[in-house]
Structure 1
Amino acid sequence: MTTQSNQAVCEAYASVFSQLSPATIESFRPLVSSDIRFKDPFNDHCGFEKMANVLQDMFRHTQNPGFTVLEQDVCGDHAWLRWRFRADMPVIGAFESEGVSRIVFNADGKVCEHIDYWDSAPLYMQIPLLGRLLKAIRNRMASDH
């Protein structure tokens, strides 16, 4: 599979993420392998159905979630997507985070791996009791310089 073809798949994949809703999750199916590995700070699953379940859970447990793809870069058999995520969450309210996803293309030009990299600590810091404990630990570990 050529980089140009991978570029087209990457653009289509990024477009689905940018327009993600419960109704558009199925739009990933023709772009990914049936055994895709999907990993984020909370999940590590193989298979499209499990990936779809993770995304459906996001819509069940948050309000108005959405991704804005800020950059994409195809590098041969893989690509990087830099994105911003926003959602309203129970208990903590509005949440926003930036991260990157590394996607890998198989020989058929389908995405066979999607791994998210983002710092989940700010999410935990907003949880009332846990946040206070984590802030105390962070302050204790901080340099006095």
Structure 2
Amino acid sequence: MTPSPTASTDPRVAGLAAAYEGLTPASLPALLALYAETARFKDPFNEVHGRAAIARVFEHMFETLHEARFVVTVAVCQVDHAFLTWDFHCRRQPTVEALVIRGASHLVFDGDGRVAVHRDYWDAAEELYAKLPVLGALARWAQRRLRAPGG
């Protein structure tokens, strides 16, 4: 039997994937406990250092978005490096159509098994800006202008 693509035999990665999939404002402290006190976090909008600063990034996410949740699609680990791919589901407003942002995270574990470095990769232009009414039209125009012939 082939394991699920989200399955990881590394308990650090499995625990982290489960924490992200179950992330709520109430469970945020449990997720942060998996991070080193001096962890670094970077995504297209934030670059912060320390568990408290990482907490503020996620608190802001929950304050500004509705029904925010992660679905981990692949979780792999090699020694102290892990790679997760994920779908982030959210709504900008409760009555607005849900967005799905697809991305990936590169994680580096420290000697205690906690996340020391977390770097998210996702295309803000394709995954976010193109889905917004005014910016979307501009993003699609720019994409057409920059696309290679036949692409």
Q: In 2, distance between residues paired with 1:25 and 1:137?
A: 38
Q: Which residue is equivalent to 1:108? A: 112
Q: Of the candidates 18, 22, 34, which is equivalent to residue 19 of structure 1?
A: 22
Structure 1 unaligned regions, length at least 5: 1-5
Secondary structure of the equivalent of 2:145? helix
RMSD (Å) for aligned C-alpha atoms? 1.8
Q: In 2, distance between residues paired with 1:132 and 1:63?
A: 24
Structure showing the higher helix proportion among its residues: 1
Q: Which residue is equivalent to 1:39? A: 42
Q: State whether structure 2 residue 142 is matched by structure 1 residue 137.
A: yes
Q: In 2, distance between residues paired with 1:17 and 1:137?
A: 34
Q: State whether structure 2 residue 133 is matched by structure 1 residue 124.
A: no
Identical positions, percent: 33
Number of matched pairs: 140
Structure 2 unaligned regions, length at least 5: 1-8
Contact kept, 8 Å, 2:40 with 2:49, in 1: the verdict is yes
Shift of 1:143: 3.1
Contact kept, 8 Å, 2:32 with 2:55, in 1: the verdict is no
TM-score, with length taken from structure 1: 0.89
Secondary structure of the equivalent of 1:82? strand
Contact kept, 8 Å, 1:38 with 1:44, in 2: the verdict is yes
